Structure 1
Amino acid sequence: MHVDAWLQAISPLWICLLVGLVIGVESLGIPLPGEIVLVSAALMAAQGVVDPFWVGVCASAGAIIGDSIGYAIGRKGGKPMFDRLGRRFPKHFGPDHIDKAERYFQRYGMWTVFFGRFIALLRILAGPIAGAVRMPYWKFLIANVLGGIAWAGGTTAVVYYLGRVAEKWLKGFSWAGLAAAVLFGAATMLIVKRRAAKMAAQEALEPVTAD
């Protein structure tokens, strides 16, 4: 069963709570399809199935709370925890993944937490690694709150309005307008992701040297 079909089988309240739960658990460091669930719920909001405001609120809350718990877990477990996870789950927590994420923190600090929301790997690892490298919690919290709201609220808003515009143009058979709306919406959603990708490219070209 596809994610959207699964979501349509439950009530609007549980859709919002489920979105927050999945994103929150993903932010703990457990690989789950948080972005897919969020986009599916936002599209359902565009169809009038659920309120987009509460989708965005629950998604933002899940992202912020989940990352904060992940920070606490990483701070308590430290690097040995990632070593154990790397042996059991090399696809997600292998040494290369952890080293790359740590380099982001060394180079970009708070921006890693903020932009990490828009990158699949960092969305899972940002909270635990921030705790493991002892980033001051107040810095982490600011970046976490701003990043969570920008990603969850922004994604919900863009997908919702894109869905509404698409429905309007479909009813009017204006395929050119629909295509323009889709391209505009897609470009809007990719702005921050491209910024994050540029940050990753700079990291690859300029490796951090040991002091």
Structure 2
Amino acid sequence: MLIFSHHEITGLVAAYGYGTVMGLNTLESMGVPVPGETALIVAAAYAGTSHELNIWVLVAATAAAAIVGDVISYLMGRWLGFWLLHRHGRWLGLSPARTKLGQYLFLRYGTRVVFFGRFLSILRGPIAFLSGANQMPFSRFFLAAGSGSTVWAILFGFGPYLLGKGASHLAKPAGITLTVLAILLLIAAVVFLHRNEARLVAEAERALPGPLGPLPLS
């Protein structure tokens, strides 16, 4: 992640207000390694102590920015990611059967993955791109991304706002804890897929019969 000190983020928030938080969260949702969540926490604490920012506007603007970034990343994955997986996935060990398995898993579990992925920094960046690359229907993606971003913005906005000045110092340890949790969940998912790959590939073929190809956007 691009490094910003607490002082630098506070300075950016004080100088540019909502624009700082919106810009960083749009970029973070697109996969750029910037501290969007930290900026929201700092800005919310700043709003609670200085009253120069309206917390309702901050939360709404942050959620909207995150959704915009998610949609851009999804569309990039939809139009570019699938082609990359289809043409070059073999270099990553992704056969057509495994690529179809990815489509199937996002069709079946994508809504939950996208929603809860918003709360885990290690997943927040790539999850929208992967949703598009694996052909998750846009309507389901948008519902999951929109609701996840809204709940996330409310929790990480109003929480620090109510806690006040000390909340911004909790951002780093909270982020580390969630990152460790995300890594453990990813390891568990990899182990599960490895042990059940044959069964899941067969399920994917039954659900998506025929040659590998892009799925309808809707």
Shorter-chain TM-score: what band? 0.5 to 0.7
| Alignment correspondent of 1:63 | 66
TM-score of the pair, normalised by structure 2: 0.66
How many Å separate the matches in 1 of 2:135 and 2:112? 15
| Alignment correspondent of 1:114 | 115
Query: Does structure 1 conserve the Cα–Cα contact (< 8 Å) formed by 2:12 and 2:20?
Result: no
Q: CA deviation at 1:141?
A: 0.6
Percent identity over paired residues: 28
Q: Which has the higher contact order (CA 8 A, sep 6+)?
A: 2
Name the amino acid aligned to 2:76: I
| Alignment correspondent of 1:44 | 46
How many Å separate the matches in 1 of 2:108 and 2:74? 19
TM-score of the pair, normalised by structure 1: 0.68
Query: Does structure 2 conserve the Cα–Cα contact (< 8 Å) formed by 1:115 and 1:196?
Result: no
Q: CA deviation at 1:148?
A: 0.4
Q: CA deviation at 1:14?
A: 2.4
> Deviations 1:125-149 (Å, cap 9, x if unpaired)?
1111111111110000100110000
In the alignment, structure 1 segments of 5+ residues that lack a partner are 87-94, 168-181
Q: CA deviation at 1:5?
A: 2.6
Q: CA deviation at 1:108?
A: 2.2
In structure 1, the residue corresponding to 2:56 is in which secondary structure? helix
| Alignment correspondent of 1:153 | 154
> Deviations 1:168-207 (Å, cap 9, x if unpaired)?
xxxxxxxxxxxxxx9xxx99x9xx9999788546524422
- Name the count of aligned residue pairs: 180
Name the amino acid aligned to 1:59: T
Stretch deviating more after TM superposition (134-143 or 38-47): 38-47
Query: Does structure 2 conserve the Cα–Cα contact (< 8 Å) formed by 1:4 and 1:41?
Result: no
In the alignment, structure 2 segments of 5+ residues that lack a partner are 203-218
1:6 equivalent to 2:3? Answer no
Q: Within 5 Å, which residues of 2 pair with 1:129-144?
A: 129-144=130-145
How many Å separate the matches in 2 of 1:83 and 1:18? 37
Query: Does structure 1 conserve the Cα–Cα contact (< 8 Å) formed by 2:111 and 2:140?
Result: yes
Closer, same or farther: CA 155–122 of 1 in aligned 2, 3 Å: same
Aligned with 2:20 (options 8, 15, 18): 18
1:72 equivalent to 2:75? Answer yes
> Deviations 1:82-102 (Å, cap 9, x if unpaired)?
799x9xxxxxxxx59xx9xx5
> Deviations 1:5-36 (Å, cap 9, x if unpaired)?
33444576822111011111111122211111
How many Å separate the matches in 2 of 1:39 and 1:115? 19
Closer, same or farther: CA 41–4 of 1 in aligned 2, 3 Å: farther
Query: Does structure 2 conserve the Cα–Cα contact (< 8 Å) formed by 1:24 and 1:63?
Result: yes
Name the amino acid aligned to 1:134: Q
Stretch deviating more after TM superposition (107-116 or 47-56): 47-56
In structure 2, the residue corresponding to 1:127 is in which secondary structure? helix
1:31 equivalent to 2:33? Answer yes
Q: CA deviation at 1:163?
A: 1.8
How many Å separate the matches in 2 of 1:12 and 1:51? 13
